[in-house]
A = this chain, B = another copy of it.
Amino acid sequence: MCCQGKQKHGCGCQGPRMERFIQPCMLLLLHEKPAHGYELMERLKEFGFEDGADPGLVYRNLRKMEESGWIESEWETEGAGPAKRLYKITAEGIDLLHDWSLHIERGIERLRNFQERYRQSFGKDN
C-alpha cells in the first residue's frame, strides 16, 4: 500500500491503494529511458508483473499520466512497424516518483511489521 486512505497527505501520489504500483514502476522505467507503451509492457515484468502487464492497464495509465503532466509523448513514425508514441518523464513526474518512493518505503515497513507480528503469533522466532 502506498497511503492508507482518508488521511490527507498533500503529496502528488494521491492514491490510497497499492494497486497503483504500476504507476511508479512506469515512471521509474521512463526515468531510466524514454520508451513506448509496448516496450513498457515488456519491461514491467522486471517489477513482478510476471506475464507482462495488461495492455489496457498500461495504455490507459499512460494517457492518464500524460493528462496529469507527469509524462509527455510524441509520435514516432520512423523505424519499423506501426507508429509508436514515445513517452518521456517530466520534471513533475520525477517529483511524483520521489513521493512514491517514500510511500513505498512506508509500505515495506507496514508489511514487515505484519510479518513480524505474524511470526510472533505462530511462535516462530525466526
Chain A residues at the B interface, C-beta cutoff of 8 Å = 1, 4-7, 17-19, 21, 24-25, 28, 31-32, 47-51, 54, 97, 101, 104-108, 110-115, 117-118, 121-122
Contacts and interface: CB of A to CB of B under 8 A. Distances in A.
B48 A113 contact: yes
Most B C-beta atoms less than 10 A away, residue of A48, A111, A113, A117: A111
A49 to B, nearest CB: 6
Binding site secondary structure of chain A: helix
Given A47-B110, A108-B111, 16 more contacts: A4-B49, A4-B50, A6-B50, A6-B51, A7-B51, A17-B18, A17-B19, A18-B19, A18-B21, A19-B19, A24-B114, A31-B122, A47-B113, A47-B114, A101-B115, A107-B111
